[in-house]
Amino acid sequence: MGWVIKLENVTVKDRDKTIIENITLEVERGEWVGVIGPNGAGKTTLLKVIAGRIIPDEGRVEVRGSIGYVPQLKKIDEFIPLRVYDVVLMGRYGRLGFLKRPGKEDKRKVLEVLERMEMEGYAAEPLGLLSGGERQKVFIARALVSEPEILLLDEPTTGLDVQAQREITGLIRKIHEDGVTVVMVTHDLNPVSPYLTRVVYMKKKIFACGEPSRVLSPEVLSKLYNAPVDVFERNGHICVIVEDAHYE
């Protein structure tokens, strides 16, 4: 199928501190890659390098295809006067060109994507009054409205309740089934493990990379969580139980 993301010996530094080091990775078209690792492992930096938001100090990055990027969900001021429709429309600006105003096609696409994210009834709602799960759907819609071939997601289910996590995971699964390549940073592998084609385990460098059944092993994950780990399969899901985890 061919690669759509290619990193060769990529290193990013912040002054004298190395954030990621000597990363070499290829992502094939149509994959769903999960990126895991302890806090400070460079996972968010990796996504920003792929998205072109950070230029590496060393190495080479190539991307074949347009990118949609969903950063970590942050708390929103409930008094910000932004409607859901306006937030999603912002995702079209990159396609419009300098000083062009949104047209009928752009507005149609916004409503289409909101329906796809099961948020069609919220177009006029203030963003700040939505729940965390609803806001995350809006931000994914903002990334999708530009019609990307690659979707980058930074911990899309973190901080959400169990029902919202399931809804978001289900929607990402549908996006992937529609042919979008997905690269997703996550701390919770259990909901997405059946759908991942590969797992990348980072600790500034790539510590392990491969099929979930190989990377999601007690031996590998015990080093990630710095604690004993039990891994078992239930209904197609690889379940990870961590005993008294201590992140490095």
pLDDT 10s digit of each residue in the chain, 248 long? 699 999 999 999 998 899 999 999 999 999 999 999 888 899 999 999 999 999 999 999 999 999 999 999 877 766 778 899 999 999 988 766 655 777 788 899 999 999 999 999 999 999 988 999 999 999 999 999 999 999 999 999 988 998 999 999 999 999 999 999 999 999 877 788 889 999 999 989 998 899 887 887 777 777 766 778 777 776 666 676 776 654 44
Provide the 3-class DSSP secondary structure of residue 210.
strand
Provide the 3-class DSSP secondary structure of residue 56.
coil
- Residue 89 belongs to a domain: yes
Q: Would you state the pLDDT for residue 102?
A: 77
Structure tokens at 173: 């699964």
Q: Would you state the pLDDT for residue 97?
A: 63
- Residue 40 belongs to a domain: no
Q: How many domains does the chain have?
A: 1
Q: Which domain holds residue 125?
A: 73-148
- Give the number of C-alpha atoms closer than 13 A to the C-alpha of residue 155, restricted to the C-beta side: 17
- Residue 131 belongs to a domain: yes
Q: Would you state the pLDDT for residue 21?
A: 96
- Residue 107 belongs to a domain: yes
- Residue 134 belongs to a domain: yes
Single-letter amino acid, residue 102: P
- Residue 111 belongs to a domain: yes
- Residue 93 belongs to a domain: yes
Residue pair 194/9 in contact (Cβ under 8 Å)? The answer is: no
Tell me how crowded residue 49 is: count the other CB atoms within 10 A of its CB. Answer: 23
- Residue 33 belongs to a domain: no
Structure tokens at 103: 């047209």
